[in-house]
Amino acid sequence: MIKKKFYVTTPIYYPNDIPHVGHAYTTIVADVLARWNRLKGNDVFFLTGTDDHGKKIAETAKDKGKKPKEFVDGLIPVFKENWKSLNIDYDKFIRTTDKDHEKVVQEMLQKSFDNGDIYKGNYEGLYCVGCEAYYTEKDLEDGRCPIHKKPVELIKEESYFFKLSKYQDKLLKLYGKNPNFILPKSKKNEIVNRVKEGLRDLSISRTSFDWGVPLPFDKKHVCYVWFDALFNYYSGGKKYWPANVHLIGKDILWFHSVYWPAFLMSVGLDLPKTVFAHGWWTFDKEKISKSRGKVLSVKELISIAGVDSARYFLCRATPFGDDGDFSEKALIERHNNELANKLGNLVSRVSGLIEKFGIEKTPNKFIKKLNEKKIEKLFENYEFDKVLNEIFAFIDDCNEYVQSKKIWETKDKKALYELKESILKIAELLQAFIPESAEKITKQFSAKNIKKGEILFKKIEIDEKINKNEKPEGIMTMSEVTFGDWEKLDLRVAQIKKVEDIEGADKLYKVELDVGKEIGKRIICAGLKEYYSKEDLKGKKIIYFSNLAPRKMRGIESQGMLLAASTEGHKKVVLIAPEKDIELGSRVG
């Protein structure tokens, strides 16, 4: 039997910073698709990598005082380690600085040039370095780039142009003939309408900087970063070309659904089957943004509730194609309610019962409740949230089966056999999403002697987890105080007398304060563990907010807060102290 080929790609990311949850998202979904297709016995090729060239990278490198190549070389291991830590099992990691890729780009430029699709001209336009793209006045919002909201630059230079206008009809035909070329369908119309409005030829070379692939027919010019970047999908997986699906974020759909097929048509290569544009994640309802401290690195993502829970959450929380909001709380809730309470509970209960009573082989009628065909269909439609809904509905069925059969009383070995088989099936279906846990379950339930193993998903108390990017508990920064509030505050000099750990809390200390004669002793909970050792804190004189409403935290009544200063994203937090010794209880302000 000939295996079906399945070739999936992620965007190649700009290695100008470490990857965050948004980059992780596309990469995780690509991994889910790759794993699922491997399970189906398909011949899978999964490509990811980095987009090393371009003005943006050259400028960031310069800011850091490094040569572009040296700068990007430093970030590649970080990308690779990050993907490894998320259990991303790609087949190839491509970089646009790879020699064989650069060679392909030059061949393609030459081909396109030879058949008359590239010509020399002058370019004057409004350029956004962040997007590495030109905009027309019409595209701008208040004179700024609609994506980065930053001012655009007026650039004038000699440039080679690609005859994009020539491809308008061909592209419209393509969208008409292949309804799955752009997915989801909701995003397709926007592209079709824009293309109908007409396409301008595209400037595809630069002379103002040299960090790129030189044009083979005019070495003064380097190739436009998107021409270079898009061809990674071909150069990185020639044997598997055309790709079955390019997974991308909606921000780069235009490049993938207009430029890319036009470039391919120009050089006479087959077109990918589908370009799927997913939505964007916000973080606590705000745009992911470094300057606002709203970024979640891969490391932070994993630290919340483990790798599998992170992968699970991103696939489950929002339909692929829609925007979603990421919050630590929402992730922990799904980890607790779905992975720990439903899946974890089923696995632990059934393995425990089997360890006690054993199993007896029987035809498995119960498993018919699971609709595998439906799951396959949902996978084909990129409806990963629904795939998981379906699997979890079956997990509910299994838990109910244990309950309704009262197996702990009836010791029904046949029912336990059915459940064992069902759990193995569940593990198989979940393998693409939560590979580590699925493998554990498979191992546990395929053993000769099934035993109750360790807990798969430990429940996490939401209180104890403080979002790293949120203010630590029990401290206050002056930015929160508005002018009118000032006089209402009662700020006092106090001394830290005692500092204790709080059982189960990894960020909070219980702190005892002496606030002088008038106020006396006070107890507060403060999220300072990441920033100060107990010894550092003991004896320190600090500023205390005495008239805040008490709050119960981890069973302790916290009577106020300490005053602190912090850097962006609360990476660094320092307590504010009186400059000279002064009596405890003295007022501040």
Phi/psi zone of residue 402: left (φ > 0), alpha (ψ -120 to 50 degrees), beta?
alpha
Number of H helices, E strands in the chain: 21, 26
**Nearest-approach distance from CB 250 to ligand MSP, in angstroms:** 7
Rounded distance between C-alpha atoms, residue 76 and residue 562, angstroms: 41
According to CB under 6 A, which residues from 20 to 39 bind ligand MSP? 22-23, 25-26
Going by their DSSP bridges, the two strands 218-223 and 245-249 should be labelled as unpaired
Rounded distance between C-alpha atoms, residue 256 and residue 84, angstroms: 27
**Nearest-approach distance from CB 14 to ligand MSP, in angstroms:** 4
Can you name the residues that pair with 565 across neighbouring β-strands? 574
State the Cα torsion 282-286-289-293 to the nearest 10°.
-120
**Nearest-approach distance from CB 323 to ligand MSP, in angstroms:** 8
**Nearest-approach distance from CB 50 to ligand MSP, in angstroms:** 8
560 binding ligand MSP? (CB under 6 A): no
For ligand MSP, the closer of residues 248 and 430 by Cβ is 248
According to CB under 6 A, which residues from 38 to 97 bind ligand MSP? 51
Rounded distance between C-alpha atoms, residue 553 and residue 463, angstroms: 8
252 binding ligand MSP? (CB under 6 A): yes
For ligand MSP, the closer of residues 112 and 232 by Cβ is 232
248 binding ligand MSP? (CB under 6 A): yes
**Nearest-approach distance from CB 101 to ligand MSP, in angstroms:** 12
For ligand MSP, the closer of residues 74 and 358 by Cβ is 74
**Nearest-approach distance from CB 66 to ligand MSP, in angstroms:** 19
The HSE-up count of residue 145 (CA atoms within 13 Å, CB side) is 19
Going by their DSSP bridges, the two strands 281-283 and 324-326 should be labelled as parallel
**DSSP class per residue in 44-67:** EEEEEEE---SHHHHHHHHHTT--
According to CB under 6 A, which residues from 396 to 455 bind ligand MSP? none
**3 state DSSP class of 127:** strand
469 binding ligand MSP? (CB under 6 A): no
249 binding ligand MSP? (CB under 6 A): yes
314 binding ligand MSP? (CB under 6 A): no
For ligand MSP, the closer of residues 275 and 494 by Cβ is 275
C-alpha pair distances (Å), 145 with each of 132, 138, 347, 404: 11, 11, 51, 60
Q: Which of 6, 7, 8, 13 binds ligand MSP (CB under 6 A)?
A: 13
Among the listed ranges 31-39, 138-146, 247-255, 302-310, the one in contact with ligand MSP (CB under 6 A) is 247-255
**Nearest-approach distance from CB 312 to ligand MSP, in angstroms:** 17
Q: Which residue is nearest to ligand MSP (CB)?
A: 22
319 binding ligand MSP? (CB under 6 A): no
Rounded distance between C-alpha atoms, residue 424 and residue 193, angstroms: 48
For ligand MSP, the closer of residues 101 and 507 by Cβ is 101
Q: Which of 30, 118, 182, 288 binds ligand MSP (CB under 6 A)?
A: 288
Among the listed ranges 143-151, 248-256, 520-528, 533-541, the one in contact with ligand MSP (CB under 6 A) is 248-256
Query: Residue 179, preceding bond cis, omega within 30 degrees?
Result: no
Among the listed ranges 9-17, 64-72, 345-353, 426-434, the one in contact with ligand MSP (CB under 6 A) is 9-17
CB neighbour list of residue 385: distance below 8 Å, 6 or more residues apart:
315, 316, 317, 318, 319, 320
Q: Is 62 exposed, middle or buried (0-12, 13-18, 19+ CB in 10 A)?
A: middle
89: nearest Cα among 19, 6, 25, 33: 33
Angle, helix 260-267 to helix 99-114, in steps of 10 degrees: 70
Among the listed ranges 11-19, 434-442, 444-452, 545-553, the one in contact with ligand MSP (CB under 6 A) is 11-19
For ligand MSP, the closer of residues 23 and 188 by Cβ is 23
Positions annotated as catalytic residues are 20, 23, 128, 131, 145, 148, 287, 290
Q: Which of 6, 7, 11, 431 binds ligand MSP (CB under 6 A)?
A: 11
Q: Are 286 and 415 in contact (CB under 8 A)?
A: no
How many residues sit close enough to ligand MSP to count as binding (CB under 6 A)? Answer: 19
Measure the N-to-C terminal CA separation of the chain; round to a whole number of Å: 81
Rule CB under 6 A: which residues touch ligand MSP? 11-14, 22-23, 25-26, 51, 229-230, 232, 248-249, 251-252, 280-281, 288
